[in-house]
Amino acid sequence: KAGVTQTPRYLIKTRGQQVTLSCSPISGHRSVSWYQQTPGQGLQFLFEYFSETQRNKGNFPGRFSGRQFSNSRSEMNVSTLELGDSALYLCATRRGGSAGANVLTFGAGSRLTVL
């Protein structure tokens, strides 16, 4: 069973550019969540998508956006990059039913460096 696939794994951008990250969930998982991980802030929730709709949203500026496709794959976009956006971006998926017991399965992450 394939795991959660995130691409690209590493990328370097400069301030002002934009970036798009991709996440392919485990087969059957319809919920995709995105997290930003930095040394000082830990895991910060960005947003969650389920059936192509944003279900929950964290406290991030509008430069951070996402979407989900009909095959449950998700992308997140960060526009007008700032130095502080340098982080590990983690995608986590789950079946997405009403049960809070659904376990999140994480991808290996996309490490973004902004110069």
Is 2 within 8 Å of 25 (Cβ atoms)? no
Check residue 106 for interaction with another protein (CB under 8 A).
Answer: yes
Check residue 92 for interaction with another protein (CB under 8 A).
Answer: yes
**Residue from 24, 33, 36, 72 binding another protein (CB under 8 A):** 33
Check residue 60 for interaction with another protein (CB under 8 A).
Answer: no
Instruction: Give me the DSSP letters along 80-91.
Output: S--GGG-EEEEE
| Number of residues forming the site for another protein (CB under 8 A) | 24
Instruction: Give me the DSSP letters along 5-74.
Output: EEE-SEEEE-TT--EEEEEEPPTT--EEEEEEEETTTEEEEEEEEETTEEEEE-S--TTEEEEE-TTS-E
In eight-state DSSP terms, residue 100 is: T
Is 105 within 8 Å of 33 (Cβ atoms)? no
Q: Minimal distance in Å, beta carbon 43 to another protein?
A: 4
Stretch of residues binding another protein (CB under 8 A), selected from 20-28, 59-67, 79-87, 96-104: 96-104
- What token pair was written down for 105? 């399965």
Check residue 22 for interaction with another protein (CB under 8 A).
Answer: no
**Residue from 42, 59, 62, 70 binding another protein (CB under 8 A):** 42
Q: Contact positions toward another protein, by CB under 8 A?
A: 33, 35, 42-43, 45, 48, 55-56, 88, 90, 92, 98-109, 111
